[in-house]
Amino acid sequence: MTARLYDISRTLFPGMAVWPGDAPFELRPTGSLAEGDSANVTALSLSAHTGTHVDAPYHFAAGGQTLEQIDLAVYWGPAQVVSVGKTSGSLTAADFAGYGLGRAPRLLVRSGASLSDPRTFQPDYVYPSPELADHLGGLGVVLYGTDAPSVDDAGSESLPGHHALQRNGIFILEGLDLTGVPDGLYELVALPLRIRGGDGSPVRAVLRTHENPA
């Protein structure tokens, strides 16, 4: 069986939902073949945390790593997709009982957020508790991915989930679209742009199934 690719990135488009207060996504033409220019060219304007994106530690921690300082190996390699029954609130290790976490060093959590309206920000979603972050750190997890827009409650200012994941050496990937992806093991590629001093970056996130020998 040949490998299959799943595009787990959200589509970027004008009018899409963004985090409240963030810059909207804009796509502005600056050159047009129809108007006699030599090429079609557009200018992009967006928050670094638009759509499917990574958070660099600098996003929430003074002195934290910026994008270009992070080892790309974090965002490329074996990953485990797990569905949770909750649609909102804090996740604990008990919510993953029976899933056999730790089968891969990258955990991608699917909840109802994958099915949310892409034009409307949904403030109710699941996020990891500090206790879960500690548990995952003990399992050797290096990346926590989620279909939710954040790893903290929408009203949080202290961001305990972000800090607990960082304390355990776990990087953050948010805003995935895991619609139609079965639970299981995959290869993940979700590389951020190489932005000097960057606190985050949109990514094109892809899962590849493992090839089975004939």
Q: What φ, ψ does residue 208 adopt, rounded to 5°?
A: -120, 130
> How far, in Å, are 67, 72, 82, 132, 183 from residue 138 at the CA level?
25, 22, 18, 10, 22
Which residue in 174, 171, 194, 164 sits closest to 69, CA to CA?
194
Q: 188 forms bridges with which residues in the sheet?
A: 77, 207
Which residue in 113, 109, 104, 45 sits closest to 79, CA to CA?
104
Q: How far apart are the first and last CA of the chain?
A: 7
Quick check: is 59 catalytic? Answer: yes
Determine the Cα–Cα distance for residues 159 and 92; give it in Å rounded to an integer: 16
- From the candidates 49, 53, 59, 163, give the one annotated as an active-site residue: 59
| Residue whose structure tokens are 């790309």 | 72
Determine the Cα–Cα distance for residues 204 and 164; give it in Å rounded to an integer: 26
Dig out the tokens for 1 from the structure.
């069986």
Which residue in 137, 141, 130, 117 sits closest to 163, CA to CA?
130
Please list the active-site residues: 59
